[in-house]
Amino acid sequence: MQPENPDRPSADGADPVVGGPVVDGPAGDGRGAGGPIVAGVDGIDGGRDEPEGQRRTGRSGWSGLSRRVRTLLVAGPLFVVLLVLAATVPVPYVILSPGPTYNTLGSYQDNGAQQDIIVINGRDTNTVTGNLNMTTVSVTTGHITAAQALVGWLKGDETVVPRASVYPPGQSEAQVNAQNTQAFAESQDSATAAALCELGYPNGFGVVRVDPTLGANGVLRPGDMIVSIDGASADSADKLSALLTKATPGQVVTVGVTRDGQAQSLSIKLSPPAAGATGARLGITVTTGCLAPFEVDLGLGDQIGGPSAGLMFALGIMDKVGPTDITGGRFIAGTGEITADGKVLPIGGIQLKMIAARRAGATVFLAPQANCSDVRGAIPRGLDVISVATLHDAVTDLANLRAGAPVPHC
């Protein structure tokens, strides 16, 4: 095998061979059998004497270093520079990871006080057991470095995605967060409507909330269906708004409603309009949907964004006011956007949400049917994932699960 540097001495201290091979012969006379002396073992170089100044010396400085050492000296500083850049320079990515889960049947911290997530006003609620946890995904933004992104790619419980997929170009982080907050509020409205319809409350245009500081307080109730104002039809949001825009604050009007299936006429003194509006107002929140004789207030709006909690909110409402024990004492978690008519729509980040659910202690997870392709192969051990397409499906499947009957899985 050839040495890396031919000028280096051999391992036994002898000079390298510069002629033919060394042959056998007495070491004392340096002779070979029938051939010239080509090397010795005691520093004798062919028996020739050379002037001191002409003797060969080893290389010094850079040229005297091995190729490996020279490579390390060049690559080392470059590696350090790249390491510093990877640890400090931000990259256009965000890291997604399993977020906190919230039991919709429980409470949360709101400005230092413990508040129920689902509040029912105007009727008693059931004693509930078990969990109906909504799940979230945490987004790490800000100063994400290449090193952090690489670690996220390598970890099994994090996902690294382009920042533009979460915060589209042209929109600030604050704008996107505001949109997500709005989507969360809308999902709560849809969840309430879907739950009340699934519970069988009548469908129509009417009152869902009464402002305790305005004229309708103590007169109108949640669940009242609006029919008319002073004899003019007011059975839709557009009609009601048009009549109130022409009215005067302090004016007393007769509001025709249907309450508990009976027609009633009620007198209300109109209140001043909201800031920037004209006309007058009754002091109610109205909707077109299923109307219950109680108010539903849902929390967490200042802490979470996006529409994916709708299914679990709807189930939580039903468990608190409905005739059926939804959980049967189980720890159930899930996700899914919901429409006012009870359809369950797909969402993003479901693999991370399943991890979050299992870490929190869930054994059952409700997944939108349209997300099943994302679920397969990514289910944490110990988690039973049930596929649902509607709120009715979810209620039915959970009842079958309690009874030991088959349920659909992803």
| pLDDT tens digits, one per residue of 231-248 | 999 999 999 999 999 999
Q: In angstroms, rounded to a whole number, what is the distance separating the alpha carbons of residues 103 and 332?
A: 9
Closest CA to 319 of 207, 402, 376: 402
Report the b/e string of 367-383 with b at 16+ CB within 10 A. bbbebbebbeeebbeeb
Token duo for residue 3: 């040495």
Report the b/e string of 16-25 with b at 16+ CB within 10 A. eeeeeeeeee
Has residue 207 got a pLDDT over 90? yes
Has residue 373 got a pLDDT over 90? yes
Own/partner pairs, 57-65, CB within 8 angstroms, 24+ separation? 58/7, 58/8, 59/7
Q: What is the mean pLDDT of residues 170-196?
A: 93
Q: What are phi and psi of 337, to 5 degrees?
A: -70, 145
| pLDDT for the residue numbered 78 | 64
Q: In angstroms, rounded to a whole number, what is the distance separating the alpha carbons of residues 166 and 189?
A: 24
Has residue 2 got a pLDDT over 80? no
Q: Residues 39, 18: contact at Cβ < 8 Å? A: yes
SS3 148: helix
| pLDDT for the residue numbered 30 | 42
| pLDDT for the residue numbered 102 | 97
Query: Which residue do the tokens 């996220």 mark?
Result: 152
Q: Residues 247, 253: contact at Cβ < 8 Å? A: yes
Q: What is the mean pLDDT of residues 365-378?
A: 96
Has residue 156 got a pLDDT over 80? no
For residue 43, give every residue at least 6 positions away whose Cβ sits within 8 Å of its Cβ, in sequence order, or none. Answer: 15
Q: In angstroms, rounded to a whole number, what is the distance separating the alpha carbons of residues 143 and 148?
A: 9
Residue type, 120: I
Strands (E), 246-401: 252-259, 262-269, 284-290, 295-298, 331-334, 337-338, 344-345, 364-368, 384-388
Closest CA to 388 of 397, 401, 379, 380: 397
pTM over 0.85: no
Q: What is the mean pLDDT of residues 66-86?
A: 62
| pLDDT tens digits, one per residue of 262-316 | 999 999 999 999 998 999 999 999 999 999 999 999 999 888 999 999 999 999 9
The structural domains of the chain, with segments of one domain joined by +, span 1-58, 105-134+173-196+297-403, 203-291
140's enclosing H/E stretch is: strand 131-140
Mean pLDDT is lowest, of 43-52, 91-100, 263-272, 319-328, for 43-52
Per-residue pLDDT band at 155 (split at 50, 70, 90): confident
94's enclosing H/E stretch is: strand 93-103
| pLDDT for the residue numbered 6 | 41
CATH level 2 (architecture), domain 105-134+173-196+297-403: 2-Layer Sandwich (3.30)
Query: Which residue do the tokens 């020739």 mark?
Result: 48
Mean pLDDT is lowest, of 2-6, 341-345, 406-410, for 2-6
Q: In angstroms, rounded to a whole number, what is the distance separating the alpha carbons of residues 147 and 85?
A: 9
Has residue 108 got a pLDDT over 90? yes
Per-residue pLDDT band at 83 (split at 50, 70, 90): low
Q: What is the mean pLDDT of residues 98-110?
A: 95
Q: Residues 355, 157: contact at Cβ < 8 Å? A: yes
Q: What is the mean pLDDT of residues 106-134?
A: 94
The per-residue pLDDT of the chain, averaged, comes to 84
Helices (H) and strands (E) in the chain, counts: 9, 18
Residue type, 347: I
Taking the CB of residue 9, how many other CB atoms lie within 10 A of it? Answer: 11
Q: In angstroms, rounded to a whole number, what is the distance separating the alpha carbons of residues 371 and 291?
A: 31
225's enclosing H/E stretch is: strand 225-229
Closest CA to 284 of 207, 205, 189: 207
Q: What are phi and psi of 9, to 5 degrees?
A: -70, 155
pLDDT > 70: percent of the chain: 79
| pLDDT for the residue numbered 138 | 92
Burial class (CB in 10 A: 0-12, 13-18, 19+), 30: middle
Has residue 39 got a pLDDT over 50? no
CATH number of 203-291: 2.30.42.10
| pLDDT for the residue numbered 86 | 52
Per-residue pLDDT band at 64 (split at 50, 70, 90): low
For residue 127, give every residue at least 6 positions away whose Cβ sits within 8 Å of its Cβ, in sequence order, or none. Answer: none
Q: In angstroms, rounded to a whole number, what is the distance separating the alpha carbons of residues 340 and 289?
A: 8
Token duo for residue 262: 């009976």
Has residue 365 got a pLDDT over 90? yes
Has residue 50 got a pLDDT over 70? no
Token duo for residue 40: 């010795």
More confident residue, 101 or 15: 101
Q: What are phi and psi of 116, to 5 degrees?
A: -65, 140
Q: What is the mean pLDDT of residues 150-154?
A: 73
Mean pLDDT is lowest, of 21-30, 103-112, 134-143, 227-236, for 21-30
Taking the CB of residue 133, how many other CB atoms lie within 10 A of it? Answer: 28
Has residue 11 got a pLDDT over 80? no
pLDDT > 90: percent of the chain: 66
